[in-house]
Amino acid sequence: MTSPEENEKSPLPKSEADWKAKLTPEQYHVLREKGTERAFTGAYWNSNEPGIYRCAGCGEKLFTSMSKFHSGCGWPSFTDPADNSGVAEATDRTHGMVRMEVTCSKCGGHLGHVFDDGPAPTHKRYCINSVSMVFQKEKK
């Protein structure tokens, strides 16, 4: 897997075979096949370190630790994206539910879902798969 800095500079894979070569099997399943990691198993669900969460597929800046909160759902939760241009939202009608899917606006990778049950002031809970992100520690 490449670092966030390398991802920002390298071109996006052009085919699904290229994506499979770039990502781990679990990253591929979540980012490209819209899968979900099991709750309470991801690297970042309980993390408190300051820094930036970037897309594991392309390095796009998605969320910061400043908007992260503990929702108790088992996945990293954020009140808002780092920059509204980094994520996209679309209606997801799979599994007999209607939810808002969150994807990376740069590579289209599936990140998770957003719900309207978060804390003030946004009342949003961006429920994101750890495996869909890489963490970049804040430099001191």
pLDDT tens string 41-98: 999 999 999 999 999 999 999 999 999 999 989 999 999 999 878 999 999 998 888 9
List, as one string, the DSSP characters of 50-83. -EEEEETTT--EEEEGGGEE--SSSS-EESS-SS
pLDDT tens string 106-137: 999 999 999 999 999 999 999 999 999 999 99
The tokens of 67 are what?
Answer: 């908007």
What is the pTM assigned to this prediction? Answer: 0.88
Q: Which residue has the higher pLDDT, 24 or 11?
A: 24
Which residue do the tokens 């946004």 mark?
Answer: 122
Find, among 105, 99, 45, 96, the residue nearest to 72 by Cα: 45
Burial of 133: CB neighbours in 10 Å, binned 0-12, 13-18, 19+: buried
Domain count of the fold of the chain? 1
Distance, first Cα to last Cα, the chain: 25
Domain limits for position 38:
4-137
Domain of 83, CATH number, reads 2.170.150.20
**Of these residues, 55, 58, 107, 127, which one is catalytic?**
127
What is the predicted pLDDT for the residue at 101?
96
Q: For the CA atoms of the chain, what is the radius of gyration?
A: 14
Residue 13's pLDDT band (cuts 50, 70, 90): confident
**Is there a catalytic annotation at residue 55?**
no
Which DSSP letter does residue 85 get?
T
